[in-house]
Amino acid sequence: MIKDMNWLAVYPELVLLAMACVVAMVDLWVTDPKRTPTYWLTQATLAVVGGMHLLYFDAGFTVYGMQRMMVTDPLGHLLGFFAALAVMITLVYARPYAESREMLKGELFTLSLFSLLGISVMLAANNFLVIYLGLELMSLSLYALTAMRRDHAQSTEAAMKYFVLGALASGFLLYGLSMMYGATGSLDIPKVFNAIATGQLNPTVLALGLVFIVAGLAFKLGAVPFHMWLPDVYHGAPTAVTLLIAGAPKLAAFAMTFRLLVEGLSGVAGDWQQMMMVLAIASMFLGNLAAIAQSNLKRMLAYSTIAQMGFMLLGFTTTVITGNTLSASNGYSSALFYMVTYVFTTLGTFGVVMLLSRQGFESENIDDLKGLAKRNPWYAGVMAIFMFSLAGIPPTVGFYAKLAVLQALITTNVTFYIVVAVLAVLLSLVGAFYYLRLVKVMYFEDPVDTQPIVAASDVRLVLSLNGAAVLVFGILPGGLMALCSQAILKALST
């Protein structure tokens, strides 16, 4: 009965599952309001899981487990490592913030671990249902986390919106997957791939299913016109949870898109790439233009996320045109690189936002950053690096992310794609305006709030390292780019 399980393939997930339960139990005995034992236990778990992913990635093999329901390949492990790292950084930034808002309970840690488990399952999925399972595990944990401040009207409202719209999107996805099953007769990604390749199926059902799948994915990525939830949730959720939503889950969304559309449905890539193109251009337009009008920092960053996701999606649109594997990997790996650098820049941005908040004061408006350079030149400098990176100005890593995607577009040598590239850079010029506005507020204006900024030493250290990483990878981006392209090449060749 239990044959072909190959437990080795799912060790990181098993460790996460076990430790999530252990953390939940241990926390019952913790009386310390700072939750020190739980916190460090969680961080240790994340470090171990991240380390395991890194070791697996380094070994570079592709193994199937759980009766071929799961796959362990370099792409999944690279993303798994970054996701674990992202959650670690998130928790470092979140702890002081959560503590001053009576949110620092065991649930924060348990649910974070469960959401990472969901992410890991998605990363390793080799079956449509497993992807869905991981997605739901992640989403349900995040819904609950958003609602953690029960007495806070805005958070509760955000949680409701997130839950209702998220459930709708999951429904879309599931509906699409069931049509896929109807058309191809299987839920296994490789079997679906083969079924499409051999062409023994009903194209109408397939196309309809594809539309629903893309809509579900677009919702999770926050691409226009499925972006409505994003500004409200980013704004309403406690900033610590906003960071959990804005960080690691984006990596999962990338993996989900890659597994479903590229590994499963690349036979109909011509169809979904058209949809992606529309989503990408609409997202860049609306995200960049709407972000200008925001005075709330979290909403602005939400719209900026929409625009950035649009830019990232452009990397998915180029690959069929040129045909061969090498240039296909060019497009996907540029999107992967974009996603990874975007996640770590965003983490730092929200880290600074949380740092400026304190007991009874939410630093949410752009004006709250006024004169930061005079209050604390160090944090202002770090934040400026993040802003220039999001705007795509060299020598920060955000520039190379944009470069990689533009390069994938232009090397198709198709006029339409070159026009899209020009459009993309012009829209990122619009984007530069609102990122620069934050730098302006920090550097060119006088502080209103003169309270000293207090930060725990670990937050200070991680934030500085985060800023330094954005700058160092901006000066030496080669290694990370090579890792991304290596992972994508391996994933495409199997």
Partner 1 sequence: MGLLSLAIWLPIIAGIVLLLVGRDEHANAVRWIALVAAIASFAVTIPLITGFDAGTAAMQFQENLAWIERLNVHYHLGVDGISVWFVLLTAFITIIVVIAAWQVITERVNQYMGAFLILSGIMVGVFSALDGLLFYVFFEATLIPMYIIIGVWGGPRRVYAAFKFFLYTLAGSLLMLIALIFLYFKSGGSFEILTWHKLPLNMNAQTLLFFAFFAAFAVKVPMWPVHTWLPDAHVEAPTGGSVVLAAIMLKLGAYGFLRFSMPIAPDASHAYDWFIIALSLIAVVYIGLVALVQQDMKKLVAYSSIAHMGFATLGFFIFSELGVSGALVQMISHGFVSGAMFLCIGVLYDRVHSREISSYGGVVNTMPKFAAFAVLFAMANCGLPGTGGFVGEWMVILGTVKANFWLGALASTTLVFGAAYTLWMVKRVYFGPVANEDVRALDDINAREFLMLALLAVAVLWMGVYPKPFTDTMHVSVTELLKHVAVSKLN
Q: Which of the ranges 34-42, 146-154, 158-166, 432-440 carries the binding residues for partner 1, by CB under 8 A?
A: 432-440
Contact between 315 and partner 1 per CB under 8 A: no
Contact between 410 and partner 1 per CB under 8 A: yes
Supply 176's token pair.
């699409």
- Cβ atoms of 106 and 27 closer than 8 Å: yes
Report which of 482, 492, 217 is spatially closest to residue 328, judged by C-alpha positions: 492
Q: Which of the ranges 170-178, 250-258, 276-284, 405-413 carries the binding residues for partner 1, by CB under 8 A?
A: 405-413
Q: Beta partners for 64?
A: 71
d(CA 327, CA 322): 7
Report which of 406, 390, 402, 387 is spatially closest to residue 477, judged by C-alpha positions: 402
Contact between 447 and partner 1 per CB under 8 A: no
Q: Centre a 10 Å sphere on the Cβ of residue 421 and count the other Cβ atoms it contains.
A: 19
Name which position in 6, 67, 194, 407 contacts partner 1 (CB under 8 A).
407
The dihedral of CA 320, 321, 324, 326: what is its sign?
A: negative
Residues 6+ apart with CB under 8 A from 431: 288, 291, 304, 307, 390, 391, 392
Q: Per CB under 8 A, which of residues 336..395 are in contact with partner 1?
A: 373, 377, 381, 388, 393-395
Name which position in 425, 456, 461, 468 contacts partner 1 (CB under 8 A).
425
Name which position in 308, 346, 428, 466 contacts partner 1 (CB under 8 A).
428
Contact between 285 and partner 1 per CB under 8 A: no
Contact between 406 and partner 1 per CB under 8 A: yes
Question: Per-residue contact track with partner 1, 181 to 220, x per CB under 8 A?
Answer: ----------------------------------------
Min CB(393)–partner 1 separation in Å: 6
d(CA 16, CA 115): 10
Give the number of C-alpha atoms closer than 13 A to the C-alpha of residue 18, restricted to the C-beta side: 9
**106-123 vs 74-99: helix axis angle to the nearest 10?**
160
Give the number of C-alpha atoms closer than 13 A to the C-alpha of residue 14, restricted to the C-beta side: 9
Name which position in 421, 438, 459, 488 contacts partner 1 (CB under 8 A).
421
Give the number of C-alpha atoms closer than 13 A to the C-alpha of residue 24, restricted to the C-beta side: 12
DSSP state for residue 258 in the 8-state scheme = I
Contact between 15 and partner 1 per CB under 8 A: no
d(CA 250, CA 247): 6
Contact between 65 and partner 1 per CB under 8 A: no
Contact between 468 and partner 1 per CB under 8 A: no
Q: Per CB under 8 A, which of residues 148..177 are in contact with partner 1?
A: none
Helix (H) or strand (E) holding 71: strand 70-72
Name which position in 207, 443, 453, 472 contacts partner 1 (CB under 8 A).
443
d(CA 58, CA 75): 11
Total number of residues that touch partner 1 (CB under 8 A): 36
Q: Which residue, 177 or 471, is less far from partner 1 as judged by CB?
A: 471
Contact between 477 and partner 1 per CB under 8 A: yes
Contact between 416 and partner 1 per CB under 8 A: no
d(CA 200, CA 187): 16
Task: Give pairs for 273-276: CB < 8 Å, separation 24+.
Answer: 273/316, 273/317, 273/319, 273/320, 275/211, 275/214, 276/214, 276/313, 276/316, 276/317
Contact between 241 and partner 1 per CB under 8 A: no
Contact between 54 and partner 1 per CB under 8 A: no
Q: Which residue, 361 or 444, is less far from partner 1 as judged by CB?
A: 444
Give the number of C-alpha atoms closer than 13 A to the C-alpha of residue 266, restricted to the C-beta side: 21
Name which position in 324, 413, 450, 457 contacts partner 1 (CB under 8 A).
413
Supply 129's token pair.
């249902």
Contact between 422 and partner 1 per CB under 8 A: yes
Name which position in 152, 160, 411, 447 contacts partner 1 (CB under 8 A).
411
Q: Which residue, 293 or 476, is less far from partner 1 as judged by CB?
A: 476
Report residue 70: phi and psi, to 5°: -120, 150
Name which position in 30, 167, 211, 432 contacts partner 1 (CB under 8 A).
432
Q: Per CB under 8 A, which of residues 253..282 are in contact with partner 1?
A: none
Q: Which residue, 94 or 404, is less far from partner 1 as judged by CB?
A: 404
Q: Which of the ranges 56-64, 96-104, 296-304, 416-424 carries the binding residues for partner 1, by CB under 8 A?
A: 416-424
| Binding-site ranges for partner 1 (CB under 8 A) | 373, 377, 381, 388, 393-395, 399-400, 403-404, 406-407, 410-411, 413, 418, 421-422, 425-426, 428-429, 432-433, 436, 439-440, 443-444, 476-478, 481-482, 485
